[in-house]
Structure 1
Amino acid sequence: MQVKVVRSRHDDPLARPLVEELSREYDERYGGGGDHPPSVELSRYPAERFDPANGGEFLLLLADGGDADGTPVAGGAFMRADDASVEVKRVWTSSAHRRQGLARRVMTELEAEATRRGIRRIVLTTGSKQPEAVALYLALGYTPEFDVEGDWQKVGYLPFEKTLPAPAG
């Protein structure tokens, strides 16, 4: 599949189908059980945190669909964690386009952008009911900060980190 990378915003109408699907899947995977659905996590950070002016980045992968914009098939973002770190959030592939390496491509693009900005460390978390995300981050060289062989349900959020190479030049 041919895709193009587009810098965007979380609240961009083009991103809406991906964000809505991510929200539905969070609620389905993690269920209710409280005053708020699990998808409330997606609104924990305002869109401005992912704006380049604030040290963030939000990108979409668009499949060439013959129209002007293309079809959003995957996306992801990071926000500034501290002077030398960013936190990756909201990495997502449309359910109709999974198992094609798109999440890996999103992560590669986010890492490359962070490196260009002089960022040396990426941190992220994923949920205990997302084994495909755990497998992806392990395959990309992220270090788990939890016992991979332990009970993920007891941990809840599964933290990872990765040190990036110094920028070339």
Structure 2
Amino acid sequence: MEIRAVAYDHPDATKLMAEVQLEYVRRYGSEDSTPMDPAQFAPPRGLFLVGYLDDVPVASGAWRAHDGPAPAFGPGDVELKRMYVVESARGKGFARAMLAELERTAVAAGRRRAVLETGTEQPEAIALYRSSGYTEIPGFGVYKDEPDNRCFGKNLV
């Protein structure tokens, strides 16, 4: 898989984000309503990545800088968003590769810790994050009080 940085509104990013929203509807009954400002995913304080197989977009992931408010966020944090692999490409290590590239680029941008939220209806995501060194942290975001919300963090440096 070749991973490329693209703009938040790039057609391939838009396509994959629409697919992940359908996945949320399938698993949780509704789309993710977390506020997403495209400017937050522009370098140097953010990044949107798309993974390609033979020039076909098959995976996505993004990060945006967060420096507060505590306790969810601290100086040097990034929030990971829109991790997704198309169904036909799952089970091949692409999510792990995308996660590693998100972490690498965040560190290169001077960020120190990655945080994210997922949910109990995404057990494969939870397994990926735990096996990659993420530990549960207090809830944050739009869904922090939802019983199926799970938040994770990992020190990158």
TM-score by length of 1: 0.80
Which residue in 2 is equivalent to 1:16? 14
Which residue in 2 is equivalent to 1:137? 129
Shift of 1:41: 2.3
**Which amino acid in structure 2 is aligned with residue 127 of structure 1?**
G
Shift of 1:86: 0.4
Distance 1:10 1:121 in 2: 22
Distance 2:14 2:110 in 1: 30
Task: Indicate if the aligned counterparts of 2:137 and 2:153 stay in contact, CA closer than 8 A.
Answer: yes
Which of 76, 84, 92 aligns to 1:92? It is: 84
Please state if 1:56 is matched with 2:41.
Answer: no
Please state if 1:47 is matched with 2:38.
Answer: yes
Unaligned ranges ≥5, structure 1: 32-37, 65-69, 147-152
Which residue in 1 is equivalent to 2:23? 25
Runs of 4+ in 1 over 6 A off after TM superposition: none
Which residue in 1 is equivalent to 2:57? 72
Which residue in 2 is equivalent to 1:81? 66
TM-score by length of 2: 0.85
Unaligned ranges ≥5, structure 2: 68-74, 139-144
**Which amino acid in structure 2 is aligned with residue 102 of structure 1?**
F
